[in-house]
Copies of this chain bind each other. A is one copy, B any other.
């Protein structure tokens, strides 16, 4: 439980960008969708792909993706439990968009690395 239901500051949802923000704004969501699409379905696999995030947050963000019907969750009745997430058809429609984002990052990798590691607002380049 505890999606983003009881926020004291409610969001405004005017344009498409606002709406996307609601379902995609979350530090790891885009990467989760991406890796799930690549076939990394299990929580443990996803955690290996995104080691910077704690298991807890990943679980929570996966739950939000579930809420928003971007992924499905299958729990196999085994012990220890096995869980698999998959993209819904709706979630799949996001893949081209995410691919575009990732490609932009790849194209500008060197520059981005430089900017992130040496931010300088007051100097020319």
Q: A residues engaging B (CB < 8 A)?
A: 1, 3-5, 11-13, 15-25, 27, 30-31, 34, 51-52, 63, 66-69, 90, 93-94, 96-98, 100-109, 111-113, 115-116, 119-121, 125
Contact = CB atoms under 8 A, between A and B. Distances in A.
A97 B17 CA distance: 12
B18 A105 contact: yes
Given A3-B119, A22-B116, A97-B100, A106 B52 contact: no
Contact of A23 (B17, B18, B96, B112): B112
Contacts of A67: 115, 119-121
- Residue in A3, A4, A104, A113 whose Cβ sees the most chain B Cβ within 10 Å: A104
Contacts of A112: 19-20, 22-23, 68
